[in-house]
Amino acid sequence: MESLVTVFVRLLPYILSIAAFFIFIEQINYLKKKRSVPGPNLVVPFFGNAISLVRDPTSFWDLQSTMAKSSGLGFSTNYIIGRFIVFIRSTELSHKVFNNVRPDAFHLVGHPFGKKLFGEHNLIYMMGQEHKDLRRRIAPNFTPKALSTYTELQQHIILKHLKSWVDSPDSGSNPFPLRLLCRDMNLETSQNVFVGPYLSGESRKRFEIDYNFFNVGLMKLPVDLPGFAFRNARLAVSRLVKTLAVCAEDSKTKMKLGEEPTCLVDFWMQDALREIAAAEDSGEKPSPHTSSTEIGGHLFDFLFASQDASTSSLLWAVTLLDSHPEVLSKVREEVTGIWSPESDKLITAEELRQMRYTEAVAREVIRYRAPATLVPHIAGEDFPLTETYTIPKGTIVFPSVYESSFQGFIDADRFDPDRFMEHRQEDRVYKKNYLAFGAGPHQCVGQRYAINHLVLFIAMFTSLFDFKRERSDGCDEIAYVPTICPRDDCKVVLSLRCRRFPCLS
């Protein structure tokens, strides 16, 4: 009887021939999809350029942008984990993707392997009438009254964390990185704004651990096996959704008693309960998207959409204000005329509206360093992107909102908040290039909330602190974590600027 080694040696030429055949077919399929579009002519079997993407995403996407620009086509191609991808630099072509989210065109995925992470019935993947109906139900969460409620919650958390920063042993002399501090502040802000009192102390700790699992898994290869970061992230999402579903149920109980809303889920449940009652009165089935489990999933969508994007913007705000002292001076001058930290009062909704230059700074921060640089979509069918190129079905398409931010605007490579002031109105003239909040049917519903948060942080941070970045080679280069931030995590030296910290009741 032949040994296994002998059998293997005898079969080895056939195994290698079969492997070579499949590699050849893979290369042919890639080249057939690529055609004459810029992109690598040969790719590593199955993995493609995934390793270079994970190892150095900044360089990977910079190369895609360079190829797209130099060719004049406005887009380029590559291959990642068995998937053909198209990177879109052109603003016009990006709009073509955003405006064609439908079953027979593009499907928003949020992450190249998002369905494995978020589940099939996520808000991100909805389209058509179902998506319109859900957005209609979400709208009451962002009325002026609701935003005013959130503003107070946001400020209490911001002040709490800023005080902990200045009270730390390193404050005043030693530089320390702000990224994780801002992330923790934003996570607590999201928890308080979205689900308020319904998240207990123990649940909050577990929530933070699970969200960290999720965050780490976003940047790893999609290996769905025990012990791998991607698997940990997928399981963490399930636990987070269950926790948020319990919060939604608790909110329903409170809103049934006729109490005033104190957080986002309360505003949502107020309307949901009206719909549920109306359906019961007419003998119909409960309205879709009113169950606590579904709402828990949608609350996680909000968290995912806001958490890391907001952290990115706060870090770039500090970085850019430090490197543009003339802008910082104008912000302080405006805020001082409206609010003082020594007044022991919060910034009111009316005072927030008066901070027009500070808001212009916030908008320019988001333009200049769009937090989520890419918005992945999948082509549901073959789609004619241009007269000469059709995107093949199944392609992952990456419109770059970052690249669009540097097109159209006057002197777009310059950080210039004045472009958003009334006398220039570049936000209107070049509206199509300002894609940080998306476009089309999936444009961000919470952009006013996000702008408010950034304005409040800038106003309070610059009023309370003198700060100086610790400069080092490459410190301001872009790093993906998964949204973008300064490569050094924004190291600063902080000292208290005012005579004392605000005392709020």
d(CA 369, CA 66): 18
For strands 377-379 and 106-108, give the pairing.
antiparallel
CA distances from 314 to 307, 361, 433, 460 (A): 11, 12, 22, 12
Helix and strand counts by DSSP (H, E) for the chain? 18, 12
d(CA 63, CA 61): 5
Indicate the DSSP class of residue 76: E
pLDDT at 264: 95
For 84, list phi and psi in degrees, rounded to 5: -75, 135
pLDDT in tens, 288-314: 778 888 899 889 888 887 888 999 999
CB atoms within 10 A of CB 258: 7
pLDDT at 170: 72
CA distances from 161 to 172, 186, 336, 497 (A): 16, 10, 21, 16
Indicate the DSSP class of residue 112: T
pLDDT at 19: 78
pLDDT at 91: 96
Q: Which two tokens stand for residue 392?
A: 């093949």
365: left (phi over 0), alpha (psi -120 to 50) or beta: alpha
CA distances from 302 to 61, 241, 457 (A): 26, 11, 20
Q: Which two tokens stand for residue 164?
A: 């902990």
pLDDT at 121: 67
Backbone Cα Rg of the chain: 25
Residue 263 near residue 193, CB atoms below 8 Å: yes
pLDDT at 285: 79
For 287, list phi and psi in degrees, rounded to 5: -60, 145
* pLDDT of the chain, 505 residues: tens digit per residue: 467 777 777 777 878 788 787 888 888 999 999 999 999 998 888 888 888 998 899 999 999 999 999 999 999 999 998 899 999 999 999 999 999 999 999 998 877 677 777 776 677 788 888 888 888 888 889 999 999 999 999 999 999 999 999 888 777 778 999 999 999 999 999 999 999 899 988 888 899 899 888 888 877 777 888 888 889 999 999 999 999 999 999 999 999 999 999 999 999 999 889 888 888 878 787 777 788 888 998 898 888 878 889 999 999 999 999 999 999 999 999 999 999 998 989 999 999 999 999 999 999 999 999 999 999 999 999 999 999 999 999 999 999 999 999 999 999 999 999 999 999 999 999 999 999 999 988 888 899 999 999 999 999 999 999 999 999 999 999 998 889 999 999 999 999 988 778 876 5
Q: Which of helix, strand or coil describes residue 108?
A: strand
Q: Which two tokens stand for residue 149?
A: 């409620």
d(CA 399, CA 387): 18
